[in-house]
Structure 1
Amino acid sequence: MVDSLWLVIALLLLAVESVVLVLLLTLRQETPRADARETRTEYLQPNYNEVAGFRLAAYPDNEIIIPQRYWLIEREVAEVDFVIVPGRAMSLRAARSGAMREPVNLTVNGYERSEQYEIDGLTVTQKQNAGRYTSVSWTRDGFDYILYSQKPEMNMISGLAVPFIVNARAEEA
């Protein structure tokens, strides 16, 4: 009799545990983690028409600014990685206005300095941490852009912002 009582208690506890587990799994709201890695797909060209409905139609490409890799992030943000001669790197992101995702590593600790100025008739926002992350952002023709570098040289972004802002263009499919 005592053995059957223990068996019933064990089964009841197992049933309660199962119900709690099912409730936790079904009622849990999925929230994106700030440190979650982005889903990236590499492309041979910056043409994301089939997935995202737009392409990068123009961007700097010369002997100093050399496009290296083309990405689509989370199926909505285009990114081009550039080699800046000699031996530096920058990336350009473009997305429809309101869909931009700032690189997580740029925003984790905030920025020490932020300023706005005008280039080519556009309001440009530059944010930076001394000697570390720097970004320049602007909006043109329904697309948001971010030019950033994780290890910039002094004034590198400021010096190269103009060719990117003047020449970078995304367009609908």
Structure 2
Amino acid sequence: MDHSEHHHAHHEAPPAATWGMAAQATLHCLTGCAIGEVLGMVIGTAAGLSNLVTVVLSVALAFLFGYALTMRGVLRAGVDFRTALRVALAADTISIAMMEILDNGVMLIVPGAMDAGLSSWLFWVALAGSLLVAFVLTTPVNKWLISRGKGHAVTHQYHQGH
């Protein structure tokens, strides 16, 4: 009998997904997203880039910062860079993608928000509102993912004792 097959039968069940756990995972994701999103919006707006280029820049930076924050925690557990990257991709891709669709969608829907400029209250209120919408609508998705051992559940083995 091959012992590797027998070993797979003893996998841990996915963690019980609580709303608190889902909110914490979403907030963690939102932190990276918000850093990238705000930075992208600031750079794009300050440089006078088109809305499309600004959104693309914001999305790219949101993924970069989101993955970097997750990798930082996983690397602290002593794993190699490739493993940390794989964990971050598995943990955050769906959550970040959903947040980016939602918050950029809100920014594009709010009349004048993208063209308001950095000194305008409309820009900042719309951006804050877009991140709030993304948080509220992504939390149930993260709860569902965690309950199936996906999303942020894959990082839990690297955060024991934290």
Length-normalised TM-score, structure 2: 0.24
Which of structures 1 and 2 has the larger relative contact order (alpha carbons within 8 angstroms, sep 6+)?
Answer: 2
More helix by share: 2
Length-normalised TM-score, structure 1: 0.23
Bigger CA radius of gyration: 1
